[in-house]
Amino acid sequence: MKKNCDRKIRHIFAVLMWRCILFIWCILPLFAQSQTAKSDIRGFVYDAENGDRIAGAILTAAFTLPNAITSRTISSDNDGYFSLTSLPVGSYWVRVCIDGFDTLYEKVIVNQGVNTKRDFFIHKIVSIDAVNISVNRKSHDAQVGVTSIEAKTIYKMPSIGAEPDILQYLQILPGVVFSGDQGGQLYIRGGSPIMNKVMLDGLTIYNPFHSIGLFSVFETDLIQTADVYSAGFGAEYGGRISAVVDIKTRDANRMRMAGKIGLTTFTSKLLLESPLRKYTQGQNNSSIAVSYKNSFLRESSRLLYNYANPDKLPYNFGDLFVKLSFNSASGGYTKLYGYRFSDNVAFPGSTTYSWVSTGLGAKFLVVPEQAKTRVDGYFLFSQYDIEQKEKDLRPRRSAIGGFNLGFNFSYNFRRDDFKWGLELNGFQTDFQLYNTNNRKINQLESTTEVNGFGNYHIVRKKFICNIGLRSQYYASLGNSSFEPRFQFRYMPFKSMGIKFAIGQYSQNLLSAMSDRDVVNLFYGFLSGPDNLPDSFNGDALKHRLQKARHAVAGFDYRIDKRQTINIESFVKLFDQITNINRDKLFDDDEFNLDKPLRLRQNYIIENGNAFGGDVSYKFSDKGWYLWAVYSLTWVNRFDGNIRYQPNFDRRHNANILLNYEFDKKNPTEISFRWNFGSGFPFTQTQGYYEKFNFSNGLGTDYTSTNGQLGIVYANINQGRLPYYHRLDFSVRRLWKLGNNRQLNLNFSVTNVYNRSNIFYFDRVGNKRVDQLPILPALGCNYSF
């Protein structure tokens, strides 16, 4: 009965989604507008002082007719580009406005049949960092299932280890669960880390977090924007079935040599920026940025934190990032960038982990003067290698490397726009491990994918919607996937939005870790295998992809200029998931054909679902900033035999961030963050026994052999760990030393009241292992 009910729900979901998308595509021509005898005003919005592109600027072109005033409003995109299309011939006043900048008025003449190119340069009214100019950049987007992070808000978080990091901010977003301080990973609205795509300027970052679990690989001072799509994301993103984290970096300073030197009890960092050709209005310019940070926690913990861990916190890492930017006077650009991230963990006398991640990228933007099309393209390459060595066990290793080549084309139609793109990507995985039963699992696989998408973005006075379709062809598996996407936002009032999104998603990448592993620093990858079971739950498999469907609904309300509230509910149906078979006991060869298939295969098929809701509240006024989030989530899996909750199924999760800033002359900030979470599921221990190896069959002499410790497990994940809660605190003081020079001192305390939060339970040693205790830290940095 349960099986038939699940099938019926999934069928109804699919039928409704496809009919909705088909209906909307059919009525698209109704939105098309005649372009006859009309022209465009197009260009870019820049910061007049340094040439930074301004995203989210609101542009209004007003044209006075004999009996009425015709106006058109649009906002600049992430590249600062705008296009006021289909304007009647005549003279216009164009107004450009955005928070923090003077409002600009300029007169522009539109001639018939000729597009007018006009760039606007606006001046700041207050001192705002280049990374903080993304105000209102999403005012013309549907904003369903997405949180847009401004760089300045990252600094409102208590700086764990006295250094702000985007990883710390991601943990307080709706639907996000963080697994722990050591080897922690992010789980977003019921999806495991392998189901989440993390990108840095388009490059796929396979392991974005360091083993200590407190720091990411990203340089906070270079982040321009970060968008977290937790469910129902659009057609421009593919290759993952749960969520997308899209991080973009800013260009280096185009006016002068600048930088930052930082030192804390955890890390040190260096950031250098310089123009290669200084910025002048209407001229080409170029710049370079180099950042490097490293950890010496393994050394400093011996002196400062020897109470925290008997192994003296054996974590070290190093992150290098370089970016070259070339901007043309016409608005186009070319950007070249690369990175090398590394991590090393050495537990004395037992296990060592090490990984290295490298990448190179090139992006360009071309804006033809008279054509209505913008073209951007990219070529990206990334590589990730990880190895684990244990004292008494065979080593594990995993490597993945690949490229992405793509082109996107954008068109504007009045307030609407259409974007489509093509992408070719390929990658190779090389993987080898031995499971808990000492059976070898290995794979060397190359795969190629061809992808395409189209997205029509409609903006009207009362509603905004995106209608998209993505096509993915997985050459190595011979499978195709057509994935409709739809986001809709209705504004009955100026201060309120009602929103909804649905979509279908697929991926061909799986984790080398089982979703049932509680603690595992070995974060490896596999491409979708072709040696999967032929059937699941009595039904023949129709494809070898991992697939999911999303639905998100909610509303947001601006109570007043200081307060906003957002409520969303979601459901994710994971129709097919591939997982590592932890129950494998025998090699899958001709000698074991009489053994059950379940005990021979490398991989198993699962399905499941995740559903729940989130409430978030934001208050900002006169130096005070409050952010509060509560998430309620259920996650379920079925492996063909049993239904269970994966180890990241946290029912309740709450976060409160409070920040207060005072003394404008030498700003001082005090920040608190409190996190509460219900216990994770875990598999209980029922007993122990002496385990013998009968590899010699009946000839094994168990009377003279010393057995190993065997464990009798209860049903999977039927228990719950204790509740988790932690308070973090930091105070930051800034001294202005002169033009462009400042000194920043930061003191932080992680786990202020020294809560003993369980990390895991060592069954063999019969002892509890806790997460990090109270950790004070001191840091300072000098900017110039």
Q: pLDDT (tens digit, 9 = 90+) per residue, 727-762?
A: 999 999 999 898 889 999 999 999 999 999 988 887
In this prediction, residues 648-667 reach a mean pLDDT of 91
Strand partners, 744: 734, 781
Q: Which of 7-11, 50-54, 215-219, 716-720 has the lowest mean pLDDT?
A: 7-11
CB atoms within 10 A of CB 487: 27
- Smallest CA-to-CA distance from 225 within 290, 154, 121 is with 154
pLDDT at 565 over 60: yes
C-alpha distances (whole Å) from 142 to each of 39, 462, 466 are 27, 11, 7
Cβ 297 vs Cβ 317: under 8 Å: no
pLDDT at 533 over 90: no
Q: What is the DSSP letter of 130?
A: G
Q: Express the helix, strand and coil content of the chain in percent, nearest 5 each.
A: 10, 55, 35
pLDDT category of residue 378 using cuts at 50, 70 and 90: very high
pLDDT category of residue 137 using cuts at 50, 70 and 90: very low
Please report, for the chain, the start and end positions of each structural domain, with discontinuous segments joined by +.
Answer: 1-31, 37-132, 146-395+404-442+451-683+718-783, 684-717
User: Which is more confidently placed, 519 or 270?
Assistant: 270
Helix (H, G, I), strand (E, B) or coil at 289: strand
Cβ 684 vs Cβ 719: under 8 Å: yes
pLDDT at 327 over 50: yes
Q: pLDDT (tens digit, 9 = 90+) per residue, 198-248?
A: 999 999 999 999 988 889 999 999 999 899 999 999 999 999 999 999 999
DSSP H or E segment with residue 15: helix 2-26
- % of residues, the chain, pLDDT over 90: 48
Tell me how far apart the alpha carbons of residues 679 and 757 are, in angstroms, rounded to a whole number. Answer: 10
User: Which is more confidently placed, 144 or 286?
Assistant: 286
pLDDT category of residue 161 using cuts at 50, 70 and 90: confident
Strands 203-204 and 196-200, bridge-based pairing: antiparallel
In this prediction, residues 497-509 reach a mean pLDDT of 95
Computed from CA positions of residues 30, 145, 220, 355, in that sequence, does the dihedral angle turn out positive or negative? negative
Tell me how far apart the alpha carbons of residues 120 and 125 are, in angstroms, rounded to a whole number. Answer: 16
Note the pLDDT of residue 696. 65
pLDDT category of residue 42 using cuts at 50, 70 and 90: confident
Instruction: Give domain 146-395+404-442+451-683+718-783's CATH number out of 3.40.50.970, 3.40.50.2000, 2.40.170.20, 3.40.30.160.
Output: 2.40.170.20
In this prediction, residues 597-606 reach a mean pLDDT of 84
Look up residue 441 and give its amino acid: I
Note the pLDDT of residue 710. 83
Angle made by CA atoms 66, 68, 73, in degrees to the nearest 5 = 130
pLDDT category of residue 140 using cuts at 50, 70 and 90: low
Mean pLDDT of the chain: 86
Which of 132-146, 331-345, 438-452 has the highest mean predicted lDDT (pLDDT)?
331-345
756: which 2 tokens?
A: 């003993």
CATH number of the domain located at residue range(s) 37-132 in this protein: 2.60.40.1120
Q: pLDDT (tens digit, 9 = 90+) per residue, 438-480?
A: 666 777 888 899 999 999 999 888 999 999 999 999 988 889 9
DSSP H or E segment with residue 538: none
How big is the chain by its Cα radius of gyration, in Å?
27
Surface-to-core class of residue 75, CB atoms within 10 Å of its CB (0-12 exposed, 13-18 middle, 19+ buried): buried
Tell me how far apart the alpha carbons of residues 43 and 54 are, in angstroms, rounded to a whole number. Answer: 12
In this prediction, residues 268-287 reach a mean pLDDT of 92
